[in-house]
Amino acid sequence: MITTIAFDADDTLWHNERIFIAAKERFKTLLAKYHTPDWIEQRLDDTEIRNIAHWGYGIKGFSLSMVETAIELTEGRVSGDEIAWIVENAREMLRSPIDLLPGVVETVTALSGRYDLMVITKGDLFDQETKIARSGIGEYFTDVEIVSEKNRDVYAGILSRRGIDPAGFVMVGNSMKSDVLPAAEIGAHAVHIPYETEWFLDRVDESALNGKVFSRLDSIRDLPAWIERQTRI
């Protein structure tokens, strides 16, 4: 019997990757006189991967990676004005309005009261708390977990602390790597709702899906009907 439904936040409840893609395009324009766009993007991606262990996920860590990349790609010639632009770009990202995905309000409204609803998301604590507060749907969630990483041990720990049986737990998200596979590995229900784009760090090899039980929906609007079908099985 399903008792608890948890949602990823970024690109599951609201648009997020769009903000990073736009910022990355602006960054490539900023450094266009130094290198080609593809080379700038690759070096920024490499720097971001290297820095996640130090600064975690989110806009602040991404922006520090932009500063580091700018210094490296210009061999220290990046100007103070250009660094100031990167800082202001980070502020602009943080000020971005919360743009809920279609069907989110209807879905959480339909499920609220019948099930315990949670948010389990990773990223910067302050930024994620602010986004949830500004989203207009925070009242529907009984618990919010903001974690530095999402893997099977993290999910198992969250469920253990709350006394939730994995068989009665559903994790809904756009990331196979962070939302679907770890939840499936602990015996929970996992629902994949692909986003319009896939972050390069969320990509998984098809072989990782072998033997994993999960469902895929086209839209979050389809979730209430999917939940209803599970209760009849």
- Per residue in 24-67, pLDDT (tens digit) is 999 999 999 999 999 999 999 999 999 998 998 999 999 999 99
Tokens at 33, concatenated: 């006189």
pLDDT band at 210 (very low <50, low <70, confident <90, very high): confident
Domain boundaries, the chain: 4-15+99-232, 17-94
- Please report the pLDDT score of residue 46 as a whole number: 95
Amino acid type, 92: E
Amino acid type, 210: N
Q: What is the mean pLDDT of the chain?
A: 94
CATH 1.10.150.240 fits 17-94, yes or no: yes
* Nearest CA-CA partner of 24 in 65, 57, 71, 74: 65
- Per residue in 178-197, pLDDT (tens digit) is 999 999 999 999 999 999 99
For the chain, the first-to-last Cα distance in angstroms comes to 9
The pTM of the full predicted model, rounded to 2 decimals, is: 0.92
H helices, E strands: number in the chain: 9, 6
* Mean pLDDT within 144-168: 96
pLDDT band at 233 (very low <50, low <70, confident <90, very high): low
* Measured distance CA(54)–CA(114) in Å, rounded: 40
* Nearest CA-CA partner of 133 in 101, 125, 6, 175: 125
Q: Which CATH class is domain 4-15+99-232?
A: alpha beta
Task: Tell me if 200 sits within 8 A of 45, measured CB to CB.
Answer: yes
Tokens at 203, concatenated: 């990509």
